[in-house]
Amino acid sequence: MSETKESFQEIIEGDTKLLVPKKSLTEKVPPIKPAFFNPKAKTNRDFSIIAYAAFLKKFEGPKIFLESLSGVGARGLRVANELEIEEMKINDLNPTALEIAKKSSILNNLNNIKFSEKEACVFLNEHSRKGNRGSIVDIDPFGSPAAFFDCGVRATMHGGILSTAATDLQVLNGLFQGACKRKYGGTPIRVEYGNEMAIRLILGCLRSVAARLGVTMIPMFVESEMHYYRTYTRILNRTDQEENIGYVLHCKNCGHRKTVVEQQQECDLCKSKNSIAGPLWIGKIFDKEFVKNMIEESSKLKIQKSCEKTIHKCLEETEMPGFYFTLDEIAKKIKTSPPKLEKIISNLKENGFTSSVTSFNPTGFRTNANINEIIKIFNSTSETHTNTV
């Protein structure tokens, strides 16, 4: 390794010792050289450990983990050290990063790891034949993961998990619509629930790649943070017959929103012109049993408590309609201060609607009530609050 020992520092994340570049711990933006490590992505890695633990507990095939863009190997090394994996392959094109990963593996007495220095798709394509695929395939690039969907799907065995991260948030949130359409095959619109729309655009793109390859992609868990979006999907070797690609209709005039298979120009409620996003994934984004397994496994792992809180929110919203509302969005519309989230959810339920919190936004809620019905309940909640003060 050309870098001096002084360039690196040993840290502990979860139960794993990691050698990381010192500058990545002190500089605002972690440097790419000598190797990339993002300390802020600890939450993201914690979620991965929980999701992979939940998957491995129920998976009966060979437990093979393929990490195609590893950096200093933080995620892969944690998986190898903290979970039961039979075979681990860590790949990166940066020889310095791999050298650090090797040294970290020695610190943790890990000997089931093979290291590989290849371009990500070359590495994944080498694992695309039956008998050579991974049961967990992890893709964590700079920017968009879309270029790796094809080789990622091919490298995932039947019943395995393909997990990808995206950091091109501006593209996915509607600032560069042309770029989003080129990369993901769908167009976003700028809305309060933009992070969910972004994740559904990623899933929609992944689904079209899977469909072209004759396999089915089922979302198990998704995660939205300030700096990235991550999806966990199960890959099955069978053709997908479901109608799970469609559009979001959003009325900028009244705030009504819904998902449809066919585009519709006019808003159902106020007859204004709809803004249309998509094509994107309109099916479920959480698998209820998988999320339950994640909750069960999280209590056994060394992870941040905030992760457990988030997963409990995910469990509440697993059966809920797509696309949430926020307290601020409704309060702004009717020019009032936002009531308490719990109060709105309980009032919606009392009025015969389904409702839950959402993991996507601390003041967000899901419901099958439309915007007019929500406003009515907001108004009555505000009146009740005023009368009791």
Domain positions in the chain are 5-248, 325-389
**Residue 84 DSSP one-character state:** -
- The fold adopted by the segment(s) 5-248 is Rossmann fold (3.40.50)
| Mean pLDDT in residue range 125-131 | 96
**Contact in structure between 164 and 149 (CB atoms under 8 Å):** yes
Helix segments in the chain, DSSP class H? 22-26, 42-58, 74-82, 95-107, 120-125, 149-154, 169-172, 177-184, 194-212, 288-298, 305-317, 327-333, 341-350, 371-388
pLDDT, position 137: 98
Res 5 pLDDT > 70: no
| Per-residue confidence band for 381, with pLDDT thresholds at 50, 70 and 90 | confident
How many alpha carbons lie under 13 Å from residue 319 in its C-beta half-sphere? 6
Measure Cα distances from 135 to 62, 123, 234 in Å.
7, 15, 10
Fold (topology level) of 325-389: Phenylalanyl-tRNA Synthetase; Chain B, domain 1 (3.30.56)
**Tens digits of residue pLDDT in 177-206:** 999 999 999 999 999 999 999 999 999 999
Q: How confident is the model at residue 226 (pLDDT cuts 50, 70, 90)?
A: confident
As a whole number, the mean pLDDT across the chain is 95
Q: How confident is residue 389, by pLDDT bands cut at 50, 70 and 90?
A: very low
- The H or E element that residue 224 is part of is strand 216-224
294-311 pLDDT, tens digit per residue, is: 999 999 999 999 999 999
Please write the tens of the pLDDT for every residue from 21-34: 999 999 988 988 89
Q: Which two tokens stand for residue 156?
A: 């995932």
The two beta strands, 229-236 and 64-67, are unpaired
Q: pLDDT value at position 378?
A: 95
CB 366 within 8 A of CB 324: yes
Model pLDDT, residue 1: 46
